[in-house]
Amino acid sequence: METIKLFKPVTAVLTAAVMLFSSATVQDKQTDKVQDATAVVRDFGKMQESIPQQLLEVTQGIIIIPKMINAGLVVGGKRGKGVAMVKDADGKWSNPAFVTLTGGSFGLQAGVQSVDLVLIFKKRATLNNIGKGSFTLGGDISVAAGPVGRSSTANTDYKLEAEVYSYSRSRGLFAGISLNGASLSVDEKANKAFYDNDNSAKEIFISSKTTSASVTDLKAALSALYK
């Protein structure tokens, strides 16, 4: 009986330790995702043909999905996890909310491709509304392949109809990527793990606080795109 009495508190301590370690591991995973997003932004900034300056100047939101998997054999599919951010009234970037992109495509295709994806949003409200559920690119909101070229004379139609412009850097067996029909949704589990609360994406954009150095680095990388 005495052994059983001693065993119970030991078990409780071990259980608590396992839960704490598991929580820390999940949070580290989201930190890695933020760091990967930062690397994507910096790599985009180094490219000769990148996002036009005049489009960046009117950008009100961004989604960065590192290493999205695009795979198929006749019927294709894509899935990736990344971060979404919006600009506040002062032009500063918010903290990131974690999101998931999923979608499929049909056609003659084969192979696996890893894609670094950046989505440029002209309206802050579009991303604020993502907390109300998933939305479909090319369905609920219009999406177009983004124009390239750093200079102000770049051939760009950012003043026209599309709400979102997509940019990708591809590695693998595919030459390009189509996002029509892909679905974007909030990754609530990732957000809770990172911020330790149940805030919606909109609340994260407005009020969630973090001292994470990875988030500071991501904001700095985004700001550097404008220089």
DSSP track, 120-152: EES-HHHHHGGGGS-EEBTTTB-EEEPP--SST
pTM, whole model, 2 decimals? 0.80
User: pLDDT higher for 202 or 104?
Assistant: 202
Dihedral angle computed from the Cα positions of residues 21, 208, 215 and 79, in that order, rounded to the nearest 10 degrees? 70
Q: Which residue has the tokens 């294709």?
A: 76
The number of beta carbons lying within 10 Å of the beta carbon of residue 124 is: 17
Average pLDDT, the chain: 77
The two tokens of residue 78 are 């894509």
Classify the C-alpha dihedral 186-191-197-202 as positive or negative: negative
**Eight-state DSSP code of residue 71:** E
Annotate 159-173 with b (16+ C-beta within 10 A) or e (fewer).
eeebbbbbbbebeee
Decide if 51 contacts 167 (C-beta within 8 A): yes
- For the cut 80, the answer to whether the pLDDT of residue 154 exceeds it is no
Q: What angle do CA 145, 46, 205 make, to 5 degrees?
A: 65
Q: What are the residues whose beta carbons fall under 8 Å from the beta carbon of 4, sequence distance 6 or more?
A: none
Among candidates 115, 113, 117, 114, which has minimal Cα distance to 72? 113
Query: 141, exposed or middle or buried, with CB in 10 Å at 0-12, 13-18, 19+?
Result: middle
Q: pLDDT tens digit string along 178-209?
A: 677 888 999 999 999 999 899 999 999 988 77
- The SS3 of residue 15 is helix
Q: How far is 128 from 200, CA to CA, in rounded Å?
A: 9
Q: pLDDT tens digit string along 28-55?
A: 888 999 999 999 999 888 877 778 888 8
Angle separating helix axes 2-46 and 188-195, nearest 10 degrees: 110
Q: Which residue has the tokens 């590695």?
A: 171
- The residue extents of the domains of the chain are 2-224
What pLDDT, on the 0 to 100 scale, is given for residue 211? 80
pLDDT band at 72 (very low <50, low <70, confident <90, very high): low
What pLDDT, on the 0 to 100 scale, is given for residue 33? 95
Element holding 108 (H helix, E strand): strand 97-121
What pLDDT, on the 0 to 100 scale, is given for residue 17? 41
